[in-house]
């Protein structure tokens, strides 16, 4: 099969949502339709003693949340679908932001009762920055919720995107009877089943067909006719080009837990979602159809298998063909590397692959050579852009509780911060280790993983800092600033100088009083300064 045919087969997307909107459950049901799993177990079900397939870290199973991005692949209707299931919890937003650099489109899950929530807005802003195509799945229709028209209005106003419903619910909550598919004039009647695929569609000739009254009742049939007439009058016909430009979001309604409304969304996704897109680098745009292989690391995960102290770097293939046991060039380290056991993933199970194509995500065993944002090429020295680290908002000093386990603690802190969920700073004198995160939960996760994966115990003491800013500019000005504020200066893992500002006022004053220094709140400056 030619490279262009392989590219055409692939669809790589991320699933995003506010916590508890049902994102992980939806992921599992997509895997069910793809034949990747046979029975879906509810994430928090007591009857089925099984957690969601995509939540494979122990702490995720205990808390019922996703704290690391899972990567899964399956075949469906002649396509290879790569899902990146992202953390919904706000404390792990940075992992989600970086994951969005590795996908070509997004499915946004919204709770029918809660509508647009804080994390929904933030994630959508990132999608808008990149003009990422978005499909919206309004979930939990089998529970009492908001009026669908009110929800659509809120989605448009809050998320700054036009919407177009492609399915429509017949009632909600306890009276929910199913959905009408606007794009092919068929009914899908609700038969809630958490573990099996939904029933077949019921075809009707038109909304005026008396069969509709028999299937859903005269009152609901008339309401559906009124709703559809209003939709067709108010909303423009679905335009795929507007969707691909990130300007129009098709909307589907359903219940992921009861496996309802998922298949029609998946079928539409297969038809309309974009294939692998081009990617920007510091030197040029990389097109997927190029013969030579390129790719970048967007995630690193230590101890994916708790029985082996492995470390996996997740590579998004951008162009050409990635081949097992082939030497590739690592531009940052300026050296060649070969990978004998590259993997694709179905949650925690892994399969060795001989080759991978644009759109694919490959897991590479890593002994510490990779950092997030690193590229691999066939020799070209390029750096992929748009994969930033953000300034943390919470800072704590790492205090070793067991001096006999100092090496384990140092290794654990080093590897876990390489994953990108937290940043590590070192302060002199004394070699103090400071961790910065965007949320409290990350400290809890790091502490748990240090104990259970590295057998190291640590305490995290709060520090009174507001923000971390990387510093560039006039060398003498920076040296003078360091002499003035030595207690607030640290270095990151790449030995870049960082100013820890105690308050927003102090940061503003530092900027005003030091015009020759630029204070950066994301790591994007590293790419700019390298050019």
DSSP letter string, 300-356: EEE-SSTTTT-EEEEEEEEES-EETT-EEEETTTTEEEE-SS-EEEETTEEEE-SEE
Strand partners, 92: none
Segment 86-94 shows an average pLDDT of 58
User: Nearest Cα to 288, choosing from 3, 19, 53?
Assistant: 3
CB atoms closer than 10 angstroms to residue 243: 21
247 DSSP assignment: S
Residue 411, CA distances (Å) to 42, 406, 450 in order: 36, 9, 9
Q: Which of 11-25, 66-80, 346-360 has the lowest mean pLDDT?
A: 66-80
Bigger pLDDT: 260 vs 203: 260
Query: Which position has the higher pLDDT, 48 or 76?
Result: 76
Distance between CA atoms of residues 457 and 451, nearest Å: 6
- Contacts of 196-203 with CB under 8 Å at 24 or more apart are 196/259, 197/32, 197/33, 197/259, 197/263, 198/259, 198/260, 198/261, 198/262, 198/263
Phi, psi of 390 (to 5 degrees): -110, 155
- Helix (H) or strand (E) segment spanning residue 525: helix 525-530
Question: Is 439's pLDDT higher than 90?
Answer: no
| Burial tier of 281 (Cβ tally within 10 Å: 0-12, 13-18, 19+) | buried
Burial class, 48, CB count within 10 angstroms (exposed 0-12 / middle 13-18 / buried 19+)? middle
Which residue, 294, 182, 303, is CA-closest to 234? 182
> CA 476 from chain center: how many Å?
41
Where in the sequence of the chain do the CATH 3.40.50.300 domains occur?
A: 3-272, 279-377
How many other β-carbons are positioned within 10 Å of the β-carbon of residue 255? 28
For range 12-22, the mean pLDDT: 85
The helix/strand/coil state of 284 is: coil
Tokens coding 268? 């539409």
Q: Residue 62 contacts by C-beta under 8 Å, 6 or more apart in sequence?
A: none
Distance (Å, whole) CA 433 – CA 397: 6
Q: In sequence order, what are the beta bridge partners of 361? A: 316
Q: What are the backbone angles phi and psi of residue 341, rounded to the nearest 5°?
A: -135, 60
CB 197 within 8 A of CB 187: no
Q: Which of 303-312, 326-335, 475-484 has the lowest mean pLDDT?
A: 303-312
Helical ranges in 88-170 per DSSP H: 93-99, 118-129, 148-159
Task: Collect all residues with Cβ–Cβ distance below 8 Å to 145 and sequence separation of at least 6.
Answer: 111, 112, 113, 151, 172, 173
Distance between CA atoms of residues 417 and 396, nearest Å: 13
CATH topology of domain 279-377: Rossmann fold (3.40.50)
Most confidently modeled of 84-98, 267-281, 390-404, 510-524?
267-281
Q: Does domain 394-530 have CATH number 3.30.70.3280?
A: yes
Bridge partners (DSSP) listed for residue 10: 80
Tokens coding 54 = 């995509």
The residues, ordered by sequence, that sit 6+ positions from 270 with a Cβ below 8 Å of its Cβ are 11, 76, 77, 79, 81
Residue 529: which pLDDT band, with cuts at 50, 70 and 90? very low
Whole-angstrom Cα distance, residue 142 to residue 432? 53
Cβ atoms of 460 and 399 closer than 8 Å: yes
pLDDT band at 271 (very low <50, low <70, confident <90, very high): very high
Strand partners, 214: none
CA 325 to centroid of chain Cα atoms: 29
pLDDT tens for residues 322-376?
999 999 999 999 999 999 989 886 544 567 889 999 999 998 988 878 888 899 9
* Residue with tokens 């940061």, as numbered in its chain: 507
User: Residue 45: is its pLDDT beyond 80?
Assistant: no
pLDDT at 318 over 80: yes
pLDDT band at 37 (very low <50, low <70, confident <90, very high): low
Does residue 525 contact residue 506 with C-beta atoms inside 8 Å? no
**Residue 296: is its pLDDT beyond 90?**
yes
Residue among 281, 308, 304, 252 at smallest CA distance from 137: 252
Please give the CATH number for the structural domain made up of 3-272.
Answer: 3.40.50.300
**With 60 as the cut, is the pLDDT of residue 193 above it?**
no
Rounded distance between C-alpha atoms, residue 360 and residue 344, angstroms: 8
Q: Give the integer Cα–Cα distance in Å for 514 and 507.
A: 11
Indicate the pairing of strand 285-286 with strand 361-365.
Answer: unpaired
Look at the block and give the residue holding tokens 């790449």.
494
What residues contact 13, with CB distance under 8 A and at least 6 apart? 81, 82, 83, 84, 103, 104, 105, 106, 107, 269, 273
Q: How confident is the model over 95-136, as pLDDT tens digits?
A: 677 788 899 999 999 999 999 887 788 788 778 877 899 999
User: What is the Cα–Cα distance from 258 to 343, expressed in whole angstroms?
Assistant: 32
- Residue 429 pLDDT: 84
Give the model's confidence band at 42: pLDDT under 50 very low, under 70 low, under 90 confident, else very high: very low
Owner of token pair 């992992």: 95
Which ranges in the chain are annotated with CATH 3.30.70.3280?
394-530
Mean pLDDT of all residues belonging to the chain: 83
Alpha carbon distance 255, 492 (integer Å): 45
- In this structure, of 94-108, 306-320, 460-474, 493-507, the range with the lowest mean pLDDT score is 306-320
């Amino acid at each position: 099969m030619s490279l262009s045919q392989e590219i055409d087969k692939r669809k790589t997307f991320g699933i995003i949502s506010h916590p508890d909107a049902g994102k992980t459950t939806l992921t599992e049901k997509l895997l069910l339709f793809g034949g990747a799993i046979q029975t879906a177990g509810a994430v928090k079900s007591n009857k089925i003693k099984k957690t969601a397939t995509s939540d494979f870290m122990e702490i995720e199973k205990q808390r019922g949340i996703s704290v690391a991005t899972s990567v899964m692949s399956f075949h469906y209707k002649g396509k290879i679908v790569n899902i990146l299931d992202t953390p919904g919890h706000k404390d792990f937003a940075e992992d989600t932001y970086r994951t969005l650099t590795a996908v070509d489109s997004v499915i946004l899950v919204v709770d029918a009762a809660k509508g647009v929530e804080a994390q929904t807005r933030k994630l959508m802003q990132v999608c808008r920055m990149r003009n990422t195509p978005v499909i919206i799945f309004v979930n939990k229709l089998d529970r009492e919720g908001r009026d669908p028209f009110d929800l659509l209005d809120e989605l448009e106003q809050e998320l700054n995107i036009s919407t177009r419903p492609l399915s429509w619910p017949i009632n909600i909550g306890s009276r929910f009877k199913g959905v009408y598919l606007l794009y092919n004039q068929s009914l899908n009647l609700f038969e809630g089943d958490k573990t099996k695929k939904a029933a077949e569609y019921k075809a009707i000739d038109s909304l005026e067909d008396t069969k509709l009254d028999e299937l859903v009742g005269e009152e609901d049939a008339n309401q559906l006719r009124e709703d559809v007439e209003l939709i067709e009058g108010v909303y423009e016909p679905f335009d795929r080009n507007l969707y691909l430009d990130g300007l129009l979001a098709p909307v589907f309604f359903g219940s992921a837990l009861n496996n309802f409304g998922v298949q029609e969304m998946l079928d539409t996704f297969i038809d309309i979602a974009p294939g692998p897109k081009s990617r920007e680098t510091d030197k040029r745009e990389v097109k997927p159809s190029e013969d030579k292989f390129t790719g970048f690391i967007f995630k690193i995960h230590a101890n994916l298998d708790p029985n082996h102290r492995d470390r996996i770097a997740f590579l998004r293939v951008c162009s050409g063909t990635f081949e097992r046991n082939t030497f590739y060039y690592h531009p940052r380290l300026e050296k060649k590397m070969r990978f004998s056991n590259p993997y694709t993933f179905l949650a925690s199970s892994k399969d060795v692959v001989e080759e991978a194509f644009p759109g694919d995500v490959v897991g590479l065993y890593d002994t510490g050579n990779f950092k997030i944002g690193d590229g691999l090429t066939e020799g070209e020295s390029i750096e992929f852009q748009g994969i930033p680290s953000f300034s943390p908002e919470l800072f704590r000093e790492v205090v070793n509780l067991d001096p006999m386990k100092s090496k384990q603690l140092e290794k654990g802190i080093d590897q876990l911060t390489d994953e990108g969920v937290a940043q590590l700073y070192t302060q002199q004198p004394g070699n103090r280790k400071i961790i910065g995160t965007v949320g409290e939960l990350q400290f809890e996760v790091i502490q748990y993983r240090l104990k259970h994966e590295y057998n190291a115990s640590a305490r995290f003491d709060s520090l009174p800092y507001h923000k971390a800013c990387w510093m560039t500019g006039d060398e003498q000005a920076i040296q003078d600033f360091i002499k003035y504020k030595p207690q607030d200066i640290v270095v990151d893992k790449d030995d870049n100088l960082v100013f820890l500002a105690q308050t927003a006022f102090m940061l503003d004053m530092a900027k005003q009083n030091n015009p020759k220094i630029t204070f950066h709140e994301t790591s994007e400056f590293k790419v700019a300064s390298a050019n």
